[in-house]
Structure 1
């Protein structure tokens, strides 16, 4: 198991190829394929069709500036897709256009799916939110907390309280990802660079050997928390995470293109991964994160290991917006979904990060607690997350709306295209 290290590799940039395929209309939640909607040709489910076309203007600007190679975007409201649009290429070097069935590395958009898988077990009483994680994963006993220093001079202390399962959902347990050059993150980078083709037990033992960034429950810190929840699911079900997800989520929702690797027959649909070159241009990222996604990994990474299509992810998000059900198939109870999408952070931890004004945190996703504090158009109560390769989604219960954008550019946030996408969606509402 290799956890999250970002490496950029420069290659010779080939000429930019830009293509555009646009699908706009409405459909029911069973399928993401858009088709014309009866009624006014100028409006669809409270959206101005003309204003929705600005989404494509946004995407094309990023593509033509060589900041992104291709995008796929979807907007749905009241259970109907009102915008589905492909722009640019899924693989520029192979001259393959972006298409509706393109498969993406969704990285941390895996987290909400892992959370849902775990919540199906919570509903059955197989764990409680205040359970110490060591009750179910005894490998994580006797965790230490970082105090000062680094290397041989590092000082640690005992955890003042046991890490709970809910703290893992909220990223307040103290685990890290190794994204920075802090003394703790350097330990993460070294430890996980040596973990390839390992077992879940070995991964847990490595996690247990690393100090927490802070005392449990005292801060929000993004880390391997949902990865651990995935291992909890495996321990409670005696199944690999992907096997259990297939049983309780993917098959019931007909998410036929979602999994922890891309099957051989589908590789031509798998999007190329890009990163910024030395001048900010898009270049092929040869290494990526978490391996090639072309073979079944030894450990299914619940924090970032899934691949999926926009159609499959739409089904998953529509299920959540519907309160746990899609087309007569119930995955979670209504109150479970309400708990999932509610803020659980105390006031002193809001916003959860300096660049997340107005945002609290639910279970494995952020949730807007004050739309007036957010720096782009929003609604209080909307929730969602993104992936390291710039995939992104939000669900807005107040507007009964879903927005999803897919691309393959690592790292997330290097370009603010998802913020521009979000504004382009909200500005199109006219009802």
Structure 2
């Protein structure tokens, strides 16, 4: 199996030397030639696709090309881009610009600095880190981590450059896990597309017509087709086997819990549970099951509205309006201490709803969490306007016939299987049958 999931981009004004069959007589060119041969050998042995940018005189041209590439997972970058024999201010400025654009364009990748002046990299990297640190936002912090962990500096005199590049694939569990997943996705795409392309028939046209008969809009059809193809991909990924982290020893498990990145953990939860309405992307689509809206004008207990009407009813316009479950933001502050609230002092709404304990005291945070995890409520983690938790109240339900006309902010769409779990719990609450108890609570013990 190919262990590398994407493509390679090489930015080096001398890389064309690799295509010369005879060794150069110039000593400096010979160093370059040997280095490039090793790099190309790595690419060929790993069956990788690669592109090169050897014209490095125009930074705007380089940036425009970078924006056109996708699925780049290894960027091999020289530092002396004008081959002047030194890394000058102009080179440094170009290298910084290239790296910043690559981070924004490629997502995750390995940055391999491949230069005869590799000792200059630490200076350039530290300057970049200082620039990101000034901004101080979460994205800048992640870029700093990328530079520290997923960038390596290699001399063109290095005898085993191939090994150094491949080692970084497996020196961090997250990188190994993500790259393995992407490899499996690529393999699944080859298999599924090969199996479902037709030549002399109109099966897919018929499928589309069938969907068009049942669904009201092109957006609904597109969602259904996406779901179909994702389902096909999942079939070809059932047997995917991933590496496992070293977590056999209790001490290692304890260390893992201590070193969790809360920002990344939140993003993983959000990515699995929701499709966020970034750049108002979802506003272009019709109302759909799982849409979570925010109503600034509503009372605190009803500011969040979740559509739970089944997709088929929405798509086929069977319903006169949509059913909404309303909720509120979990507003218990960090460091909450119930003893700090005096008798006449108002408490956060989430505390008030959870109520007091048997001692007539406001409940501690553990009991509040248990209260909202019971029947009648559902917690949508990190889903509020401020990325706090939203508490859905299954008893706070209404039907709205003109939701699209209301001035509401669409925050996100709850993904499967979470939305199905919400609907199942909602149905269980209102379809259950209460049975009167005729026997004492300890009756079993008296047999």
TM-score band by shorter chain is: under 0.3
Relative to its length, the structure with more helix (as a share) is 2
Larger Rg: 2
User: Scaled by the length of structure 2, what TM-score is found?
Assistant: 0.21
- TM-score relative to the length of structure 1: 0.22
